[in-house]
Structure 1
């Protein structure tokens, strides 16, 4: 019993699919060019007279002529290579700059680099692309389009450098199953702007009033505070009772002020040396140990579905 190429390729995609197809091409020209085990596999895999289903505008498959088999095989290899290029280098075409600068891009992300056209992709099955994307689409054109949306949109997935195959496979599957896609809930843009203004105003105040004092500004990481707002709100809804943040120097003062609710007056007193004795009792309640201000921590009981303890160290 023989198996058509797309069906047999269901277990191979990316560089594996390309490699298998190149071996098959070599086997067709000279069966002795591959090892005995591979030759035995391809003898069972040899396609019947109409081996490659051709999709017409995403519709039902028709049979390709026998003479076209070699051409279709070459294009199938090219599709597998294109899919792998997007998985490896798609992040180079992702639009990550909010100011809209052009991403660096990579030649291997384009059809002409692989000798392909839109018509070629529409004529080949999505199974050549593989992964979750290949399972939920019909044609290679649709599958490649989805891959571009995943890898070259507004998230730059780059996991090819990871050495553990299971980790790479998990991240690829998670990305292509859209586990990390943006939340579809509408964003309260006015509330977000107000929060970011609060964060930025605090930094500007410290800069203008204490220009000679050492601090580690949150500027450039302003979204950390709204992000923590969301994470902590969700934590409170899922029954978490304690959150401990091992906070870096950068942004610590802003997080203490706006997430831990440490009063501004306490933070500003720490910019004056020495801290007057009248404030010592209150400062000790907020985690003050006499260390520099950007080493200080704090604790807070945060309201949620249940009250839970939030600590920064």
Structure 2
């Protein structure tokens, strides 16, 4: 029996999703140092404190004040009480090296770092039981858990996210305009399929920050593809698409001048650019 080899010219053209031809890039591997022997010994000596700190990381979000109007009654979480772990003296000093992270990610020290129980409680509750809730201890990756705890407890994140009064006003303006925009469309065009951004307004400050950092880093062009939901908010809120032109389109007009004879598309397919190109 003679074998026949069949050559398929299409097979060499088939590309794998992970062969870098579609823009795929492997995730950067982060090598976070494990606990040193000194830290392991200290964790063993102060096991009750370690249990208390881990409980704040694990259960702090259950008591966090995430309701800005304080209408939500948060439950009392027994796991956040230090006396549950035999810690009763707020003035007693503990070596927190390897238990509470006071240095940025990847920067550790072998020297003892002593804090009182009161200072430890105040510091960790300000992070895990504050106005923002963090929930990451369920992650199966120890490196991820260590990375988050380093970032949060060293207050490096607070330095990175510090905002001036002008920045806060800009964020408020983006959120307020987006909400007002959605309410206006709902009132004036109740039958319009507008794909509103209600509940997702934080997308606008996030993209605004992304564009700013990209510009500061030397990026000259950003091409943004996105789903229908929130597109109109982004066009009018960040990309300065004319609301007058949008309302004209909603009322049945075209986005193209009549003399062009071009056929328009639905409003959810509108696009824009910012800043507008310079006309010669």
The normalised TM-score by structure 1 is 0.61
Which residue pairs with 1:11 in the alignment? Answer: 40
Question: For each residue in 1:119-153, what CA deviation from the matched residue of structure 2 results, as whole angstroms up to 9, or x when unmatched?
Answer: 4x624333373433797952251233222222221
- The separation in 2 between residues aligned to 1:214 and 1:77, in whole angstroms, is 58
Q: 2:83 aligns with which of 105, 112, 117?
A: 112
Contact 1:94 1:154 in 2 (8 A): yes
Contact 1:129 1:143 in 2 (8 A): no
Bigger fraction of residues in helix: 1
C-alpha change, 1:276 and 1:170, in structure 2 (3 Å) is closer
- The separation in 2 between residues aligned to 1:97 and 1:280, in whole angstroms, is 54
Q: Can you give the 5+ residue segments of structure 1 that lack an aligned partner in the other structure?
A: 1-6, 22-72, 308-313
Contact 1:126 1:140 in 2 (8 A): no
Does residue 187 of the first structure (1) align with residue 149 of the second (2)?
no
Offset of residue 207 of structure 1: 1.1
Contact 2:100 2:153 in 1 (8 A): no
C-alpha change, 1:282 and 1:143, in structure 2 (3 Å) is farther
Question: For each residue in 1:25-71, what CA deviation from the matched residue of structure 2 results, as whole angstroms up to 9, or x when unmatched?
Answer: xxxxxxxxxxxxxxxxxxxxxxxxxxxxxxxxxxxxxxxxxxxxxxx
Contact 2:93 2:114 in 1 (8 A): no
Could you list the runs of 4 or more consecutive aligned residues of structure 1 that deviate by over 6 angstroms after TM superposition?
133-136
Question: For each residue in 1:77-104, what CA deviation from the matched residue of structure 2 results, as whole angstroms up to 9, or x when unmatched?
Answer: 2211101101112222222121123434
Which residue pairs with 2:268 in the alignment? Answer: 294
Bigger fraction of residues in strand: 1
- The separation in 2 between residues aligned to 1:277 and 1:98, in whole angstroms, is 45
Which residue pairs with 1:166 in the alignment? Answer: 143
Q: Can you give the 5+ residue segments of structure 2 that lack an aligned partner in the other structure?
A: 1-35
The normalised TM-score by structure 2 is 0.68
Does residue 81 of the first structure (1) align with residue 51 of the second (2)?
yes
C-alpha change, 1:99 and 1:221, in structure 2 (3 Å) is farther
Question: How many pairs does the alignment contain?
Answer: 233
Aligned-residue RMSD, C-alpha: 3.5
Offset of residue 220 of structure 1: 2.9
Offset of residue 219 of structure 1: 2.6
Which secondary structure does the structure 2 equivalent of 1:242 belong to?
A: coil
Which secondary structure does the structure 2 equivalent of 1:139 belong to?
A: strand
